[in-house]
Amino acid sequence: MLTTTVYDLRPLQPAQRHALAFQAFDALGAGESFELLNDHEPRGLLLQFIEQRPDRFDWQATQAADGAWHIRIARLAADARVRAPAAAEPGCCGCSCGGRG
């Protein structure tokens, strides 16, 4: 049985959340994934992944509710194309953190 690591971002300071997500992603092999648990939709993080890791990841919201967003992020093979939803709002990074991380 395949076990997916879950990182709960909610107790972390906003500045630490994105750093942890990128560290976890960079440690993955092709085809591996992890899940983030966050208190809001991490649109800013998605934008950063699109910019900093283009065509290397798959982003899938597995649960979306107030205070409990579950996002599965997988590392794709080098020739795969990113399948991520379009970001919605303008701003520092477009997420609901209001520029706090």
Domains of the chain: 5-75 (3.30.110.40)
Mean pLDDT of the chain: 83
pLDDT tier, 80 (very low <50, low <70, confident <90, very high otherwise): low
Structure token digits, residue 12: 């972390």
pLDDT tier, 81 (very low <50, low <70, confident <90, very high otherwise): low
pLDDT tier, 18 (very low <50, low <70, confident <90, very high otherwise): very high
pLDDT tier, 2 (very low <50, low <70, confident <90, very high otherwise): low
- Looking at per-residue pLDDT, the higher value among 64 and 96 belongs to 64
Judge whether residue 92 has pLDDT over 80: no
